Amino acid sequence: MALGRRFITSAALVALATASVGSGAVAQSGDPKAIEKSFDAQINNADLVAWLKEMSSAPNHVGAPHNKANAEMQLALFKQWGWDARIETFDVLYPTPISTRLEIVGANPVALGGQEAAIGADPDTAKLADALPPYVAYQGDGDVTGSVVYVNYGMPEDYEALERRGISVKGKIVMARYGGGWRGLKPKLAQEHGAIGCLIYSDPADDGYGAYDVYPRGGGRPETGVQRGSVVDMTIYPGDPLTPGIGSTPGAKRLTREESPVLLKIPTLPISYGDAAKIMARLEGPVAGGAARGGMAMTYHWGGTDAVKLHLAVKSDWSQKPIYNVIAVMPGKTRPDEWIVRGNHRDAWVYGASDPLSGQVALMAEAKALGALAKAGWRPDRTLVYASWDGEEPGLLGSTEWAETHADELKAKAVMYINTDVVGRGFFRGDGSHVFQHFVNQVSRDVPDPQTGVSLYDRSRASIRNGGRGVSPEAVAAAKAGADLPIAPLGSGSDFAAFLEHLGVPALNVGFGGEGQAAGAYHSAYDSFHHVMSFDDPGLVYATTLSKVVGRMILRASSGSRPPARYGDFASTVSRYVVEVKKLAADQRESDRALLDQLRDNVFALSSHPDDPMKPPVAKEMTPLIDMLALEDAADRLSRSAKAADAALDRAPAASPAAQAAVEKALKGIDQVLADPRGLPGRPWYRNLIYAPGTLTGYGAKTLPGVREAIEQRRFADARTYVARTAAVLNAYADRLDTAVKALKP
């Protein structure tokens, strides 16, 4: 990597050091509570509202003039606040639609698709001339005509059910509804099953009138609303499809489009339920009932006959486009080579007031407040790197290319990455690396919820005890006991991926949600300032609170002798995951056996419904007994080592400088040992053997992915290989902890 790409120059360090000279008793005092109070006082809700209004006032997709203008505005602001800021540009493959066309063909053709409709109450929706039409990025251009099969969510079990009904999608256009798995899996699986095109629609049961009042009465998706998005296969790798694993810098070696394994081949469009209803109403075939139907006012059918044919054509401009990351640095006073990286993306599909700007303005408020503290004489021990990412929507482009470009420096210096994205009103979440579970809980106990006045922790705790979201038995037990609430593992879907899963840098994704209605405008032209202020986070009170949460995290993580890790939380979580994968294998074996028994006894033929006859499922090879002793042993050892390390580290401040140096050396980058350079089966870019997005969930996490997915996908040889590899990284982790403990022996 060329020195030129090393993004913090000595000159910058000097510049900021100069800028940070100032006064302020509190900021210089070093009293953490006082500094946090002073930080809070700098967070100004009116700033967030003003920035959001301005930044969401025109389309912000990659390449949109307003997106670049926002970057330039941010650059100026960061500088004004005393940060060393720059715009770092990458040229990436990013297709934009030249034309999209969808129609029901026949004697009386019906034109479908096109731009979303203006809504009177929302002035922004009348200014869509500069917006891209609804489309999905990285679909395969094409011009096809064919009959239609409704595939429900378009996930593997849906295809299995279709196959049992004797319905093939081969040579046909599938219509899937959003939900049940990541968007990009739908056309991918359709293509794998021989479909020639794919439509994805937003069912009103999920984010329309079935969920909320419809916009503008409420935030729910109106019948003209369309969810745009990316369908690049980021389960293989995110970032520029042509430069996997390396930064998309001018001299980089690029794949051709044909060589890239993450690009689709079939044309795909997202559509509204207004359009989907016109197609569904014409479908024949057996009834798609029960969990396979949504909320449109008609009986759903699987189709597959020639009752309705569609013409679908998409043509894109596949040229390289520039993306603009704004990077702002505040160098650390005592540990400048330890970085706390904090990011939120800036690009949107249209206006993006909620996604991503609600999180972006929180980041800006933090940066302004930190700048003010710095001007008053405070300085972080560690270096802060604030990033406004571009190109997240098409495929985490900005963060991935940046992380790949600066990989060596990040591996050497990055202590943690803190991400935010959409913020909606509701309950606090801090998900990610379990070494930070206690840290997340501590911060959430110290910030009040703007709605109730109790701490974020107490509100989450009440929600869990009232049967709220994410209620696992562990969460209920912790909530009852008043103990740390478990945090969730990260998969993908935002800019933490390259840090956590490619480099092994431990990461958090922080936010609020559960009480807003942003889902109804998600990735549509209705994700506007009016929508956010009316339904998603009225008054931006939760975005403002997020600034205080992340600000505290930054203040705490950037000071002190070591990062805020508690290894026992990681170890106990890993132990739970090991129990889960063992149970997974045992349950799968049991259900394989049950299926064989059912097939032997003709259970499926005898209970088949005459109106909806289904062939028996295909018999599966029995899941073998898989030796997981190495993994169990490693988890057990890790638990003991982590417990010892946590106890020893509490005593560390009293240790000799030499011992402390040895401890620091042992623990420096410890989480990176979880990244195996060989990566996961079939997707070597994903190196973290503890956390990964599921190949069949997309955003959703799979923990111990090498083992878990191998069992689920019946790659039993892989399962055995990854039992060993996962055990090895856990043992390497325990080795590091043991070294630290040894250094601290009295």
Q: Identify the bridge partners of residue 108 per DSSP, sorted by sequence position.
A: none
Using the 8-state DSSP alphabet, how is residue 61 labeled? S
Q: Which of 606, 629, 658, 717 binds its own copies (CB under 8 A)?
A: 606
Q: List the one residue from 44, 168, 598, 721 that touches its own copies (CB under 8 A).
A: 598
| Nearer CB in complex with its own copies: 600/745 | 600
- Distance from chain centroid for Cα 745: 41
Sign of CA dihedral 445, 450, 454, 457: negative
- Least distance in angstroms from the C-beta of 721 to its own copies: 35
Write down the least CB distance from residue 222 to its own copies, Å: 11
Member of 602, 647, 653, 665 binding its own copies (CB under 8 A): 602
Identify the H or E element spanning 419. Answer: strand 414-419
Q: Cis omega (within 30 of 0) on the bond before 216?
A: yes
256 contacts its own copies (rule: CB under 8 A): no
State which H helix or E strand residue 62 sits in.
none
Q: Is 213 in the site for its own copies (CB under 8 A)?
A: yes
Query: Binding segment for its own copies among 111-119, 138-146, 464-472, 565-573 (CB under 8 A)?
Result: 464-472
* Least distance to its own copies, CB of residue 121, Å: 16
CB neighbour list of residue 527: distance below 8 Å, 6 or more residues apart = 348, 349, 350, 351, 352, 353, 354, 355, 518, 521
Q: Is 272 in the site for its own copies (CB under 8 A)?
A: no
d(CA 107, CA 102): 16
Q: Report in angstroms how near the CB of residue 694 gets to its own copies at its nearest.
A: 25
x-or-dash string of contact with its own copies, 297-336, rule CB under 8 A? xxx-------------------------------------
Q: How many CB atoms lie within 10 A of CB 243?
A: 23
Longest dimension (CA), the chain: 88
Q: CB 470 → its own copies: shortest distance, Å? A: 13
We find the least distance from the C-beta atom of residue 610 to its own copies, in angstroms, to be: 6
Task: Answer left, alpha or beta for residue 305, where phi above 0 means left and psi between -120 and 50 means alpha.
Answer: beta
Under the criterion CB under 8 A, does residue 738 sit at the interface with its own copies? no
Q: By CB under 8 A, is residue 477 in contact with its own copies?
A: no
> Does residue 209 bind its own copies (CB under 8 A)?
yes
Among 59, 97, 204, 513, binds its own copies (CB under 8 A): 204
Nearest Cα to Cα of residue 504 among 668, 371, 649, 626: 668
* Residue whose CB is less far from its own copies, 142 or 295: 295
Least CB distance to its own copies at residue 481 (A): 12
Half-sphere exposure for 277 (CA within 13 Å, toward CB)? 13
> Does the footprint of its own copies cover residue 458 (CB under 8 A)?
yes
* 138/512 with CB nearer its own copies: 512
Find out whether 227 and 200 touch, Cβ atoms under 8 Å.
Answer: yes
Residue 610 binds its own copies, judged by CB under 8 A: yes
Beta carbon of residue 298, minimum distance to its own copies (angstroms, whole number):
5
Choose, by CB under 8 A, the member of 425, 434, 566, 708 that binds its own copies.
425
The answer to whether residue 459 forms part of the interface with its own copies (CB under 8 A) is: yes
* Token pair for 520: 């109804």
Distance of alpha carbon 491 from alpha carbon 135, whole angstroms: 24
Of 86-94, 100-108, 462-470, 584-592: span binding its own copies (CB under 8 A): 462-470
Site membership for its own copies, residue 448 (CB under 8 A): no
- The pair of structure tokens assigned to 390 is 């571009």
Q: Which stretch binds its own copies (CB under 8 A): 130-138, 172-180, 247-255, 604-612?
A: 604-612
Q: Which stretch binds its own copies (CB under 8 A): 291-299, 314-322, 406-414, 700-708?
A: 291-299
Q: Which DSSP helix (H) or strand (E) runs through 348?
A: none
471 within 8 A of 514, measured Cβ to Cβ:
no
- Cα distance between residue 543 and residue 422, in whole Å: 9
Distance (Å, rounded) from C-alpha 478 to C-alpha 744?
Answer: 31
454 vs 647 by CB, closer to its own copies = 454
Nearer to its own copies by C-beta: 149 or 418?
A: 149
Residue from the set 175, 214, 363, 659 that interacts with its own copies by CB under 8 A: 214
Q: Which is nearer to its own copies, 296 or 365 (CB)?
A: 296
Counting residues that bind its own copies (by CB under 8 A) gives: 43
Alpha carbon distance 247, 408 (integer Å):
12
Give the residue carrying structure tokens 């910058």.
12
In the set 62, 211, 373, 744, which binds its own copies (CB under 8 A)?
Answer: 211
Query: Containing H/E element for 173?
Result: strand 173-177
Stretch of 17-25, 80-88, 310-318, 465-473 lying at the interface with its own copies (CB under 8 A): 465-473
Distance in angstroms (rounded) separating the CA atoms of residues 568 and 645: 8
- Nearest distance, CB of residue 286 and its own copies, angstroms: 10
Residue among 334 and 452 whose Cβ is closer to its own copies? 452
Candidates 493, 438, 529, 523; CA nearest to 700 is 493
Instruction: Please give the single-letter amino acid code of residue 287.
Output: V
Pick from 292, 313, 462, 652 the residue near its own copies by CB under 8 A: 462
Asked if residues 517 and 723 have their Cβ atoms less than 8 Å apart, the reply is: no
Pick the piece of the chain touching its own copies (CB under 8 A) from 383-391, 414-422, 450-458, 659-667: 450-458
Give the integer Cα–Cα distance in Å for 182 and 174: 16
Burial class (CB in 10 A: 0-12, 13-18, 19+), 258: exposed
Cα(629)–Cα(636) distance, integer angstroms: 10
607 touching its own copies, by CB under 8 A: yes
Rounded distance between C-alpha atoms, residue 479 and residue 8, angstroms: 43
Binding site for its own copies (CB under 8 A): 204, 209-214, 217-218, 220, 287, 289, 293, 295-299, 425, 451-452, 454, 458-459, 462-463, 465-466, 468, 480, 515, 597-598, 601-607, 609-611
